[in-house]
Amino acid sequence: MVLKELLLVCLLNVCCSNAGGGPAIHDVIKPKEVEFRSLNYNNVLYWKSGKQMDSKPVYFVQYKIYGDTRWSNKTDCWGISKSFCDLSKETSDNREWYYARVCAATPEVQSDWVFSQKFIPYLTTVISPPETRLWAGKASILVQLKPPHSPYKRRNGSWISMKKLHDLRYRIYITNNKLDQEKHVFEGWNRTVQIENLTPRTTYCVVTEIIMVSQARKGQQSEKKCIKTL
């Protein structure tokens, strides 16, 4: 069976076992653990490959809004060898419910469709840490924070910040050699924060994170950035 014929098989939504291949082979190449992962509304579908055979499988992805009866093909993820597919554009209404499904095919056999769980971007997306810049002062550190941007753009081509899509609160921790653990020194909406009453000529390390207020959910923590006070 040539690739064109495989495409037609999946297009007709009958990705199923080949009569000559049998159920055992059909199950072997079936994708596993099909799931959405979302970072700053970059919504990507991932899956794990089935057992490798002599012919490397290719994958076909479809998606739909919950309640729709018709599946849509993701053209850029039609007959691909990689095990992920970016569906950010197709799932851009962040309060909508979505599903996706994947099937695998080789020249000898095709798998059934494997479905993701229901995906709601608004409730699922994780926010990355803010971009953090530090300036040293006399017994103080000035921290400047910049929230990440979403995959969406304005008409002028500039990126839309996650701040425009959510009410974000920032949290700052500091550590130094004299502290046994991180010390929580700030939480609020300000993106420029002066941390004062520190020890002069001492190296401090700063860790930041963002809280999505409406969901009371915190995002990823930043890596430590260190600076020495004056």
Q: What is the CATH number of domain 3-124?
A: 2.60.40.10
Domain boundaries, the chain: 3-124, 131-228
* Residue pair 145/128 in contact by the 8 Å Cβ criterion: no
How many Cα atoms within 13 Å fall on the side-chain side of residue 140? 9
Same fold: 3-124 with 131-228 = yes
Distance between CA atoms of 183 and 225, rounded to whole angstroms?
Answer: 14
For the entire predicted model, the pTM comes to 0.86
- Residues with Cβ within 8 Å of 115's Cβ and at least 6 positions away in sequence, in order, are 34, 99, 100, 101
**Fold held by 131-228:** Immunoglobulin-like (2.60.40)
Digitized pLDDT (tens) for each residue of the chain, 230 residues in all? 445 544 544 444 445 444 344 555 667 899 999 999 999 999 999 999 987 767 889 999 999 999 999 999 999 999 999 999 999 999 999 999 999 999 999 988 899 999 999 999 999 999 999 999 999 999 999 999 999 999 999 999 999 999 999 999 999 999 987 776 788 999 999 999 999 999 999 999 999 999 999 989 999 999 999 999 99
Distance between CA atoms of 82 and 57, rounded to whole angstroms?
Answer: 10
